[in-house]
Amino acid sequence: MVKLGGVPLGYDLLWPDRHQSNQVLQSVILTIGCGQRVFVQSKLVGRPVTLQANEDQGWIAADLVPILKEMADVPGEVYDFDFHGLESFQVMFKHQDPPALDLRPLIDGAEYGAWFIGSIKLFSV
């Protein structure tokens, strides 16, 4: 079960960026003498967590959408995140890469009592 802030989101949500390597920050600056300066640092937090529900799997129940909207609308709030008991840490909604919450009905025009698809963008803190 995938849970965000204690809210069960289901079993089938996808986490496509789960195994991406992005824990190193690197900057390269060219010098006047045509050399380069490389600055490297390990990233301690900020791991992306993009949850996706698509047409094939991971549908989000309509009754969870207002709860997720309310959670996303709280500035600076930190939530516990649990991915099937395999990984657990704290996250925030990723408002710096809008929209942090992008959900739409699975069937166009069926906003009430329907399933929703889309994405929930988070990052670890």
Residue 23 has pLDDT above 80, yes or no: no
pLDDT tens digits for range 49-94: 999 999 999 999 999 999 999 999 999 999 999 999 999 999 999 9
* Cα 94 to Cα 32, 40, 63, 76, 91, distances in angstroms: 37, 24, 22, 10, 9
pLDDT tens digits for range 41-51: 887 778 899 99
Domain that holds residue 41: 2-124
Query: What is the pLDDT, as a whole number, of residue 61?
Result: 93
Looking at this protein, which amino acid is placed at residue 87? E
Q: How much of the chain, in percent, has pLDDT values that exceed 70?
A: 97
Distance from the first to the final alpha carbon of the chain? 21
